[in-house]
Amino acid sequence: MSTKVLAQSGNASMSQYQLGSGDKVSISVFGQEELSMEVRLPDVGTINYPFLGELKLVGLTAAEVEQLIHNGLLGDYLVNPSVSVSIVEYRPFFIDGEVKRPGGYPYQPGLTVNKAAALAGGYTERAARDKIVIVRESSNQTRELTVTVSDMIQPGDIITINQRFF
């Protein structure tokens, strides 16, 4: 499988998006105010949830977290808990190299490499738009992908815009 295919398959659906440290999630249990919370996932990737203790959320999708909490509360604590988990704020992406203002920026769904560069002040005159590399971490594995300006990015991506040589 080429790196180009990997870059695109990683963006097939944000519903399969795996939570990572830095993401801010909202957990709500219908009719149970004390079990509802909004929390930013720390580096260790675990949160302390009422009645259930420490829960590791990093690497899980929002739907998997809903199921985990639902199953934990079912029976002993609630008859039929209605759990909803949503991502309030994604972890930032980072862009460096030949852009005017390299750094970290808040992720927004639908961002392409081109849009990310625009957030960073645009490309410099020496930017090689055909030599863009993304470092992406998923499932505790880091991959380096060669992408184009129209490819989608994901939260936590590190985008490097290389320099072209005349």
pLDDT band at residue 78, thresholds of 50, 70 and 90?
Answer: confident
> Residue 3: its pLDDT value, please?
36
Per-residue pLDDT, averaged over 98-126, amounts to 95
CATH topology of domain 93-163: Outer membrane lipoprotein wza fold like (3.10.560)
Q: Which residue has the tokens 């295919």?
A: 5
What size, in residues, is the chain?
166
Question: Per-residue confidence at 37, pLDDT binned at 50, 70, 90?
Answer: very high
d(CA 80, CA 47): 23
| C-alpha to C-alpha distance for 5 and 105, rounded to whole angstroms | 25
CA 64 – CA 28 distance, rounded (Å): 14
Question: Whole-angstrom Cα distance, residue 107 to residue 117?
Answer: 12
Same fold, 18-89 and 93-163: no
Lookup: tokens for 22: 């830095």
Report whether 84 contacts 28 (CB < 8 A). yes
Q: Which CATH number fits domain 18-89: 3.30.390.50, 3.40.50.300, 3.30.360.10, 3.30.1950.10?
A: 3.30.1950.10
CB atoms closer than 10 angstroms to residue 91? 20
User: Please, which residues have CB within 8 angstroms of residue 71's CB and are 6 or more apart in sequence?
Assistant: none
Query: Would you kindly state where each structural domain of the chain is located, as residue ranges?
Result: 18-89, 93-163
Pairwise pLDDT comparison (76 vs 33), residue with the higher score: 33
Residue 17 has a pLDDT of 87
Q: For residues 87-110, give the mean pLDDT.
A: 95
Q: How much is the pTM?
A: 0.79
Give me the chain's average pLDDT, please.
88
State the pLDDT confidence band at 36, using cuts at 50, 70 and 90.
very high
Which pLDDT value is given to residue 14?
A: 66
Which has more confidence, 76 or 124?
A: 124
The two tokens of residue 77 are 């604590």
With contact defined as beta carbons under 8 Å apart, do 133 and 92 qualify?
no
**What was the pLDDT predicted at 77?**
80
